[in-house]
């Protein structure tokens, strides 16, 4: 009888020990997850809390280099996005400390655009301005000498666009005409020299700080790409017309986006321009339109060379 009791007691101890081990293992796993949950939300679903399956290689490298404690916890908020850049870690953290209301996704996006710095600083020269998807803004400059290939006159006008943009614009204009609407160009391709003359004149009249909100400096204008066209007069009242209502909802079907939308001045660096259309091709323009993002944001999140989500053919 005593032997049976001892066996039961021994079995009980073993069972208790197993339960303790399982509990401890679960606690350890919970502690080890400290780097992942909030930081690893799907970067394409802002505001979700679902963790991604894998940390990007760059993030694994960062964690393996000895990040620990509170710094590691903070770092974990940024490394889950495909467009995370290891060399910008301190920029992300510093920009977040100055803009606590921004989500981590917004912080990574804005810093990658360059918005943690003043406009026209840390300038990079565009190496492939002939690409349809080229991003031009106040941090990316077109080479002074660049003149796009394939410039052609929009039929019935003296305004120039690249071949594919010209065809798309004419198709949009013709379809609008059938609906009783009129879309016509008032500005299109501009050379570096012409943009310089426009900018210098306006700066002399109104001051550089004012003009920088409404006009691009030479080398920073999409018009130099031959892929941008201003339509129906450069006045904000255009936004109240039936023509604008139609093309704001349909321009992407022809390959154009409204490049400088309302309420996005802090991202684009320019005041709202309902007249400024940028050609991206039908597929890309539709994606940007559906995203609700500015092209600056979309480019950083999906198109920036080297990103996992790069999709431009």
Length of the chain, in residues: 313
Q: What is the pLDDT of residue 66?
A: 56
Residue partners of 7: CB distance under 8 A and separation at least 6: none
Q: 161 and 226 in contact (C-beta within 8 Å)?
A: yes
Q: Which residue ranges make up each domain of the chain?
A: 2-113, 124-303
Residues of the chain with pLDDT under 50: 1-56, 58, 307-313
Q: 113 and 106 in contact (C-beta within 8 Å)?
A: no
Q: What is the pLDDT of residue 157?
A: 98
Choosing among 3.40.50.2300, 2.60.40.10, 3.30.1380.10, 3.10.310.10, the CATH entry for 124-303 is 3.30.1380.10
pLDDT tens readout for residues 139-152: 999 999 999 999 99
What's the CA gap between 260 and 276, in Å, rounded?
7
Which entry of 90, 170, 273, 297 is annotated as an active-site residue? 273
Q: 274 and 246 in contact (C-beta within 8 Å)?
A: no
Phi and psi torsions of 17, nearest 5°: -65, -40
pLDDT tens readout for residues 52-63: 334 445 455 555
Q: What is the pLDDT of residue 134?
A: 96
State yes or no: is 287 an active-site residue.
Answer: no
Q: What is the pLDDT of residue 2?
A: 47
Burial class (CB in 10 A: 0-12, 13-18, 19+), 119: middle
Read off the pTM. Answer: 0.78
Q: 136 and 220 in contact (C-beta within 8 Å)?
A: yes
Element (H, E) at 90: helix 89-98
Of 295, 279, 287, whose CA–CA distance to 163 is shortest? 279
């Amino acid at each position: 009888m005593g032997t049976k009791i001892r066996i039961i007691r021994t079995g009980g101890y073993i069972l208790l020990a197993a339960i303790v081990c399982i509990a401890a293992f679960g606690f350890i796993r919970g502690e080890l997850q400290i780097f992942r949950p909030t930081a690893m939300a799907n970067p394409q679903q802002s505001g979700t809390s679902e963790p991604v399956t894998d940390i990007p290689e760059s993030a694994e490298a960062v964690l393996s280099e000895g990040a620990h404690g509170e710094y590691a916890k903070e770092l974990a908020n940024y490394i889950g996005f495909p467009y995370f850049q290891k060399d910008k870690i301190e920029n992300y953290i510093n920009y977040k400390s100055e803009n606590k209301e921004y989500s981590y996704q917004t912080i990574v996006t804005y810093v990658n655009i360059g918005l943690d710095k003043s406009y026209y600083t840390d300038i990079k020269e565009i190496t492939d301005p002939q690409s349809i998807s080229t991003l031009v803004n106040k941090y990316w400059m077109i080479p002074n000498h660049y003149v796009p290939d394939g410039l052609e006159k929009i039929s019935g006008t003296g305004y120039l666009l690249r071949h594919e943009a010209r065809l798309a614009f004419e198709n949009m204009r013709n379809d609008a005409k059938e609906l009783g609407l009129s879309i016509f160009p008032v500005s299109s391709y501009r050379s570096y020299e012409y943009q310089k003359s426009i900018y210098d004149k306006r700066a002399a009249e109104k001051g550089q700080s004012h003009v920088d909100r409404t006009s691009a400096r030479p080398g920073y204008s999409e018009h130099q790409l031959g892929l941008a066209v201003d339509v129906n007069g450069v006045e904000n009242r255009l936004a109240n017309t039936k023509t604008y209502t139609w093309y704001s909802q349909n321009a992407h079907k022809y390959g154009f986006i409204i490049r400088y939308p309302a309420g996005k001045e802090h991202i684009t660096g320019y005041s709202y321009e309902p007249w400024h259309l940028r050609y991206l091709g039908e597929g890309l323009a539709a994606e940007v339109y559906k995203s609700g993002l500015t092209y600056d944001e979309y480019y950083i999140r999906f198109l920036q060379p080297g990103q996992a989500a790069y999709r431009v053919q």
